Amino acid sequence: SLLLLLVQRDLGTASIFVFIFTIIIFLATGKRRVLLTTVLFLTLALVIGYFFIDIIRVRVDGWINPWDDPSGNSYQIVQSILAVANGGTIGRGPGLGSPLLVPVAISDFIFAAIAEESGLVGSLGLLIVIWLILARGLIVALRAADRFRRYLAAGIVTYFGIQSLLIIGGNLRLLPLTGVTLPFVSYGGSSLLTSYVALFLLLVISNLADNEPALLEDPRPYS
C-alpha cells in the first residue's frame, strides 16, 4: 500500500499509514524500539527522497526557508504564514479575511483561513475541540471490552491526531507540507466520509463498553 501511495506521490497519506502502523505496534507490544525504528526510517526516507524525488525537495526547501522563492514553489506556505499573522489575537472577524489569497484554503490550508478570521482565540478553540475528541477517544479505548476494540479505538484516535498534527503543523511551518486534510473541518467528500465513519466506529465501541474493561496484559511502564 505504501508503494502505491509513493507512486501516486501521496506522501501525506503514506505518512499517516506509517504513523498509525507504528503506534498500533507500540501499543500491542509496548516496545519503545518500535518508535525509534520508525523515526530512523522516516529520517532516512526524508534524506533519500530529498535527493531523488523532486516534490520532497521542493517541500523541504519551502519548509526550511520559504522566503527563497516566495512567489514560486513556496507561495502556499508564505501566504499561509501571512494569513496567520494577519489574524492576530482575536482575528479579522467572520467573513472579513482573505482566505482566497492562500491556495486551496478550503482544504489543505483551512487552518490558516480560520486563524486569519478568528485569530489566536479561535485557533486555540479549534485545538481544544480536537483535543477533546482525542481525549474521549482514548477513554473509549481504555474502557473497551476486549483488546480488538481497544486497539481499533486507539488506531482511530491516532488517525485523527496524526492527520490534525500534520495539517496544522504544515500550515504553521512547523512541519513540511503533506497535503492532507483537517478532520471534520476541511472541504472534501472523501475526507468527511472517512472521518465520520471513523467517529461512528468510536461511538459503537463506546456503546459496547463493558463495566469491567479488558485488563492490560502488562501494567508495567512501556520499555
DSSP 73-135: TTHHHHHHHHHHHHHTTT-S-TT-S-GGGSTTTTTTTHHHHHHHHHHHHHHHHHHHHHHHHHH
- Say which residues have a Cβ less than 8 Å from residue 62's Cβ, sequence separation at least 6: 69, 73, 74, 76, 77, 176, 177
Nearest C-alpha neighbor of 145 from the set 201, 220, 205: 205
Question: CA-CA distances (angstroms) from residue 3 to 7, 11, 15, 51, 60?
Answer: 6, 10, 12, 18, 21
Walking along the chain (223 residues) 10 residues at a time, the average pLDDT comes out as 76 83 87 87 82 80 84 86 89 80 84 91 94 94 88 93 91 85 85 91 84 60 51
The per-residue pLDDT for 222 is 52
The per-residue pLDDT for 155 is 92
Q: CA-to-CA distance for 166 and 174, rounded, in angstroms?
A: 9
- The answer to whether the beta carbons of residues 84 and 116 sit under 8 Å apart is yes
* Burial (0-12, 13-18, 19+ Cβ within 10 Å), 99: middle
Neighbours of 42 (CB within 10 A): 14
Rounded to two decimals, the pTM is 0.83
Helix intervals (H) in the chain: 2-7, 11-29, 33-52, 54-64, 75-87, 110-142, 147-171, 189-207
